Structure 1
Amino acid sequence: MQVILPDEQIHQIQILLSNLIQKEIEQQLEQSGLNSPYLNKQQACDYLGISNNTLDNWIKKGLPAIKIGKTIRFHIESIDRWLTTHN
């Protein structure tokens, strides 16, 4: 069985699907914390694809980190800049 829809309905379905996908992407980014420009240690490890020990070594080598009390945060753009100068 084949269903034939008018072009306008096809366009409306495409818009609906696009909006649903966009909302799902935004929700996933919000839940992962990757929509923030600042990452915690675990998020930084995930972002870089490295272990916590490697991250600690990179911090000792100069990876920019922001320390607030016992909390450490990393600015994504600073990580990217540091990586381009240290590869």
Structure 2
Amino acid sequence: MKQPIKLVLTDEQLKNLLDNIATVIISKLSDQLSNKLAAHYYMNKKEAAKFIGISTNTLDNWILQGLKVSTIDGIICIDPDDIHDFLLKYQN
């Protein structure tokens, strides 16, 4: 069995150590948040229909019923968050 090592630190050393640990944690959390935001993307109609598990015809009906889309140069882009919001409106 390994024996624990006892460290004796001054108050200043302990403060520096805790500050360094906090900096590393904040940096890692910031990186994860940035990665999550970078992973947010828009889907075309085919991708969105597959994502939900419906046909593109059903998706067209949902768009007519108010599913938010962005159209850029004739290309329909759908935000997954808008799909979620749309489905919540019809949740029983």
> Which TM-score tier does this pair reach, normalised by the shorter chain?
0.5 to 0.7
Aligned twin of 1:45: 49
Moved over 2 A (4+): none
Aligned twin of 1:70: 74
1:37, distance to aligned residue in structure 2 (A): 2.2
- TM-score normalised per structure 2: 0.54
* Aligned partner letter, 1:62: G
Q: Point out the structure with max Rg over C-alpha.
A: 2
- TM-score normalised per structure 1: 0.56
> Sequence identity, in percent?
38
1:53, distance to aligned residue in structure 2 (A): 0.6
Show structure 2 runs of 5+ residues with no match.
1-38
Matches within 5 A, 1:8-87: 35-87=39-91
SS at match of 2:77: strand
The CA distance in 1 between the partners of 2:40 and 2:81, in whole Å, is 11
Show structure 1 runs of 5+ residues with no match.
1-34
More strand by share: 1
